[in-house]
Amino acid sequence: MGNRRVFIKQLSAGTIILSVSPAFISCNRKRKKQPFEIIPSNPLDLPRSTPEEQGILSGAVGKFIDSFQKSKIELHSIMLVRNGHVITEGWWSPYAAEYKQQLYSLSKSFTSLAVGFAIEEGLLSLDDKVIYFFQDDLPDQLSENLKKLKVKHLLTMSVGQETDPITIMEKTKNWARAFLNIPIVNEPGSTFLYNSGASYMLSAIISKVAGESLHKFLKPRLFDPLNITGSTWSQNSQGVNIGASHLRLKTEDIAKFGQLLLDKGKWKGKRIIGRKWVKEATSKQIETGKNNNDWAYGYGYQFWMNPPGGFRADGAYGQYCIVFPEKDTVLVITAESFDKQETMRLVWNELLPEIRENEPIEPNEKQFKRLQKKLKTLRLDPPKYATNFPFAKIISGKVFVLEDNELNVKAVSFEFSRNECLFTIKNKNNEERVIKCGINRWVMENNMKPGPKTLFSDLRIDFKSVLAASATWRDENTLLITFRFPESTHTDTIMCTFIGEKLTLSFRSSIAASGKEGPETRRDITGTMKT
């Protein structure tokens, strides 16, 4: 067992060979000539094709997208892959292909693969006792259930604790110690209970046996071979990646991950991870209950089972990598959805029945072009009210000094032109940040959201991000500024109310606006025009 603490680097970025074989289609499939152009893809990425070439009608895909447009579900991106070829891809502007997306618990499935790599390299095993890895963090008295807790129980979320301990862990300096001190009421392996704390513990174990973070461990083994670049994964104060969440990847990177799993651990013909691990991780290992929803069909090693078959990596607010092995299909969705069950229903009912025979069908140029036009014009508009009021001229260029506040903001100012509002924020260190807001339109040029403790919500957006900003006059005294973060799932608004020389700033994040997770936590801030 002691040898497992020694990290033997079996793979390195310098020895990985990237295969660029172009096709995943069986050679006996009859191609039907498609009379329209497909944009060439990077040979290191997924190749492109038409829906018809891969056996799906473009019109059916278009109707599937329309079903989301008609619902209250806000999609940010979609990518549909069949036979290893991207046949549909779209981003709702200002989201775009080049921006990383917030994965939330979809991150857990990447943690699963890291454990698989570590097991294949002899660094640990499914039956290793968890207490072995945390000798300095154990409670004074070890319960029998804690002694029995194994790596496998972390993977299957069958720890035996009564509640998910992650919120308790996040409030401490030593997350592992907090986890190990929470009573294990049920025998490990006997009962499923969703447990993000367990996923964090897997990340902490990888750090110990590999001698490097989970994120760094995955780079030469997974990210480099799949040409996944620019990924980020947040760490806690101990320098451990939060294996339960906080990974950020581009939409196509998620699709590559799904295709790797669909191909049982191979990427473009090259073995990346063992077939055995992929099969075990994506198969039902434990029952998840008898609830009448799409999370009641079993759980693997950090993967959910789908009611119609197959499996998925699944994150909060509608982040999905759904794999249908029998249909050679991967579907990736990123979104801000407060009704994940409805998202699943639309996938099962509107898309899945349209994925039929795995043979090319007659090309339909009209349907294909209509779908491409739809995909190129997807957008999320900002709120639009009036573009101007006379009061704008009175306050333009004026500085409003704010009362003392928890957000570290000393003053703000507004400068209006015909199409834009320059919103300037000055913090208590007299550092200024200028945000360019389009009037009734998004502007992104040079806009960046700073880190914590600013006017912006830190609720689920506690990192720097590119920023799309818009301003609109709700009435003659009220300016509404909206921020959308294309590298995050959420949006934020600041209501600026002017009464004479007085200003009140009111805040509302999209999470607070949903009413699903409690009220807005930021208090109103008042200020006075500087004379």
DSSP characters for 266-299? Answer: EETTEE-S-HHHHHHHTS--B---S-SSTT-S-B
In this predicted structure, what is the pLDDT of residue 15? 32
Q: How many Cα neighbours within 13 Å face the side chain of 278?
A: 19
Confidence of residue 24 (pLDDT cuts 50, 70, 90): very low
In this predicted structure, what is the pLDDT of residue 389? 86
Tokens at 294, concatenated:
């799409």
Q: Is the pLDDT of residue 501 over 80?
A: yes
Q: What is the pLDDT of residues 115-130, one digit of tens each?
A: 999 999 999 999 999 9
Of 416 and 460, the structure prediction assigns the larger pLDDT to 416
Q: Is the pLDDT of residue 21 over 60?
A: no
pTM, rounded to two decimals: 0.90
- Write b or e for each residue in 394-403: b if 16 or more Cβ atoms lie within 10 A of its Cβ, otherwise e: ebeebbbebe
In sequence order, what are the residues at sequence separation of 6 or more whose Cβ sits closer than 8 angstroms to the Cβ of residue 429? none
* CA dist 517 → 317, 441, 454, 510 (Å): 12, 29, 21, 10
Confidence of residue 388 (pLDDT cuts 50, 70, 90): confident
In this predicted structure, what is the pLDDT of residue 36? 55
- The pair phi, psi for residue 177, each rounded to 5°, is -60, -40
What pairs with residue 321 in β-bridges?
Answer: 313, 332
% of the chain with per-residue pLDDT over 70: 89
User: Residue 312: which of 293, 290, 333, 287 has the closest Cα?
Assistant: 333
The predicted model gives 290-307 an average pLDDT of: 91
User: Residue 181: which of 169, 189, 193 has the closest Cα?
Assistant: 169
In this predicted structure, what is the pLDDT of residue 358? 84
Q: Is the pLDDT of residue 259 over 90?
A: yes
User: Residue 123: which of 223, 193, 247, 217 has the closest Cα?
Assistant: 217
Proportion of the chain in helix, strand, coil states, percent, rounded to 5? 30, 25, 45
Q: Is the pLDDT of residue 451 over 80?
A: no
**What is the rounded end-to-end Cα distance, in angstroms, of the chain?**
72
Distance CA 394, CA 414 (A): 10
The domains found in the chain, sorted by start residue, are 50-99+252-266+304-380 (3.30.450), 106-249 (3.40.710.10), 391-529 (2.40.128.20)
Determine the residue type at 13: A
- The pair phi, psi for residue 127, each rounded to 5°, is -90, 0
In this predicted structure, what is the pLDDT of residue 34? 54
